[in-house]
Structure 1
């Protein structure tokens, strides 16, 4: 199975459990968080063309800073997010487009699961995913929110570029 899928090495923290309706609600809730008030405002401003002359990197940094302030404010007010406790905790050791591999043999083939990965992108965040076991330690991603999928795919490409640079440096 793994030889048919192109996977690249990574280390990403990962929690998962068997899929159920309560976990689907958390998945949906985490997806709506990407549309927080500042995110909605920026989307509307972009649609109206109000960000044409704005540096996109600077804008992204300001949005991340605003979200971080909101996060700190929630902690101070004791409004911290409470995620549903998931049974299994492991590491993702390899990722690919539509697939990932974990350290341990914890999946059942064709069984549906829900998981949360701590994707090391900017800004770092929890990425919910619904997937099926493709093998004992390989998962086939079924659903990811659009923004998360874009960041997941960008992370794969960044890791591939880093691996290519490393191989070029080693081979002269």
Structure 2
């Protein structure tokens, strides 16, 4: 990271730890079609099977040890649906967005793109693949408060949980790396 994103965030009243990452992102200024894709991305994977599993979780019918097995079965089911869609030529298409870049850092509520040139106060829509289990694309609305840093203004609840978990896992990973370096 060429810039001290944490310092800039603090200067703008956003207190978060920043973690390095490398995620492809597509973005554009906000439009009606962006709002439609945002809603569509939230519904991806929310079929009857997933609703049934959520219902079981809410009713505490899934025991603690069963969670991982259920997640793996869910992923297998999603892959089968994906294969079925490929065979039937129903491939998922996304809204073409004008800009493409690399997210080089994340914080709770912020996204950082190195070598970007965002307009301060401008609102954007972004789509990127969040590397969590199961991996999926998420859409977010952001507002630039620096030429390289954007504040997240809208994100679906499930995505917030997975986004924050991803950041926390990256923080733990970085601490382990630092600890190993000290041991050497």
Measured against the shorter chain, the TM-score band is: over 0.9
Kindly report which structure 2 residues correspond to 1:120-159, keeping only aligned pairs within 5 A, or say none: 120-159=131-170
What secondary structure, in the 3-state scheme, does the structure 1 residue paired with 2:178 have? helix
Q: 1:42 — aligned with what?
A: 53
Aligned mates of 1:168, 1:47 — CA distance in 2: 39
TM-score normalised to the size of structure 1?
0.94
Q: Distance in 1 between matches of 2:179 and 2:61?
A: 43
**1:75 equivalent in structure 2:** 86
**2 CA distance for matches of 1:129 and 1:104?**
20
Alignment partner, residue 69 of structure 2: 58
Q: 2:172 aligns with which of 137, 153, 161?
A: 161
Alignment TM-score, normalising by the size of structure 2: 0.88
SS at the partner of 2:138?
A: strand
- Unpaired segments of 5 or more residues in structure 2? 11-15
CA separation in 1, counterparts of 2:109 and 2:58?
Answer: 30
Q: Structure 1 residues 53 and 114 mapped into 2: Cα distance closer, same or farther (>3 Å)?
A: closer
- 1:15 is aligned to 2:17: no
Counterparts of 2:99 and 2:74 in 1: how far apart (Å)?
33
Contact (CA 8 Å) 1:7, 1:100: kept in 2 or not? Answer: no
Distance in 1 (CA, whole Å) between partners of 2:72 and 2:167 is: 22
Q: Post-superposition shift, 1:8?
A: 1.1
1:46/1:6 CA distance change after superposition, 3 Å: closer
* Cα distance in 2 for residues equivalent to 1:69 and 1:148: 23
RMSD of aligned C-alpha atoms? 1.5
1:54 CA drift (Å): 5.7
Corresponding residue number in structure 2 for 1:94: 105
Kindly indicate whether residue 130 of structure 2 is the aligned counterpart of residue 119 of structure 1: yes
Q: Give 1:6's aligned residue.
A: 17
